[in-house]
Amino acid sequence: MRSLVKFSAVLAFVALTAYAPAVVPPTVAAATGPQLKSLGPLSFGPNGVLLAADPLAAMVYAIDLGAQANGGAPGTQDVTGIDQKIAAMLGTDAKDIAITDLAVDQRTHNSYISVMRGQGPAAKPALLRVDGAGKITTINTDGLSYTAVTLPNPPAPSEGGRGNQRMQSITQVKFANGKVWISGLSNEEFASKMWAVTYPFAKADAGTSLEIYHDNHQQLETRAPMYAFVPYSLENQPYIIGAYLCTPLVKFPVAQLTPNTGSKFRGTTIGELGAGNRPIDMILYKKGGKDFLLLANTSRGVMKIPADTFASAKPLTTPSNQETAGVPFEKVTTMTGVMQLDLLDPTHSIVVQGQQGSPLNLHASELP
């Protein structure tokens, strides 16, 4: 079991993950409870507010978990066969649930798991918490206080499958410097988008259309979504570091991510991490006095990337004719089958891992 860490270590973690001091927003407004159509990317904002993406509705909720955020043992204990245990709690079979994300509340170090139960249009969302004793608790969202923001111009919904781009209307959500950062797709000509919504929530603007150079595809792209990102400071300036399909690593200066309509902003590609691969999650951590990025992928395992290479990395703007290029990385051979990833504490990550057709496990791994 991973218990609560020392206060000084928590302060170091906060300094790493938020690239500038943020004003703590007030408590979210009272309401009758979020009406979730789906549940995808999760993260935490100020005061333990849960940021929960509903891709089908193209909405992000800021949910006050209230008393349900407390009462469990501190930390997160490993749970073997967590998909089977969750399915049993939801009255179904493990093959009929999909774990869509994993996020840690840094106040308690409990882990929260978003799940879709069922198939296709009939699938329903569920939210669960795992504590330091390995107890799994279903979070009842009825009556919880929340605020929400709706993103403009989402892709049209379809019957499902790989063609349902509506499920990619939101691919990641993070809080930094008083704003909620959201990546995903729109129905516009330049579909890849990044939104920065002031928190407490105001109306979402048009967002920034993003363009990247994709070395493996040897072309500029505007329709591929950013699947994972982290806010990070380079040379005392705020940036977004994002990863795309097949697998470009790109940096975007926040100062230039201004709302636009009918135009696009090109990021700087600093790495190509290999084709035939989709990013899942990325986290920042500090070890030996240096910052590192840990990136989980569908086909190429978990990669450890030194963050001190980002500022000076040579931009990739023409074909390198190599499978990988740009910033250096190493594959973490001790972490296999990772399907979800988050930072548990300053020395450990927490993952959902397993192989297709086998039970999935929740496991704390020492940061490499």
92-111 pLDDT per residue, tens = 999 999 999 999 999 999 99
Of 239 and 159, which is predicted with more confidence? 239
Classify residue 298 by its DSSP letter. S
155-194 pLDDT per residue, tens = 998 765 445 789 999 999 999 999 999 999 999 999 999 9
Q: Are 230 and 220 in contact (CB under 8 A)?
A: no
Of 20 and 299, which is predicted with more confidence? 299
- Those residues whose C-beta lies under 8 Å from the C-beta of residue 196, and which sit 6 or more positions away, are 179, 180, 181, 182, 208, 254, 257
Tokens coding 123: 């699938």
Tokens coding 214: 């994709």
0.85 surpassed by pTM: yes
Q: What is the pLDDT of residue 157?
A: 84
Q: What is the pLDDT of residue 45?
A: 97
Q: Are 303 and 333 in contact (CB under 8 A)?
A: no
Residue 304 to residues 25, 323, 348, Cα–Cα distance (Å): 33, 17, 14
Q: What is the pLDDT of residue 163?
A: 54
The mean of the pLDDT values for the chain is: 91
**Distance from C-alpha of 18 to C-alpha of 13, rounded to nearest angstrom:** 9
18-61 pLDDT per residue, tens = 444 444 443 444 547 999 999 999 999 999 999 999 999 999 99
Residue 215 pLDDT > 60, yes or no? yes
Task: Determine which of 50-54, 117-121, 350-354 has the lowest per-residue pLDDT on average.
Answer: 117-121
Tokens coding 44: 């935490």
Q: Residue 274: name the closest of 250, 253, 244, 310 by CA.
A: 244
Q: Tell me the pLDDT band of 123, cut-offs 50, 70 and 90.
A: very high
**Distance from C-alpha of 226 to C-alpha of 283, rounded to nearest angstrom:** 15
Q: What stretch of H or E contains 201?
A: none
Domain boundaries, the chain: 7-366
Q: Are 241 and 283 in contact (CB under 8 A)?
A: no
- Sheet strands side by side (includes 330-331): 279-287, 290-297, 302-306, 330-331
7-366 has CATH 2.120.10 classification: yes
Share of the chain above pLDDT 70, in %: 90
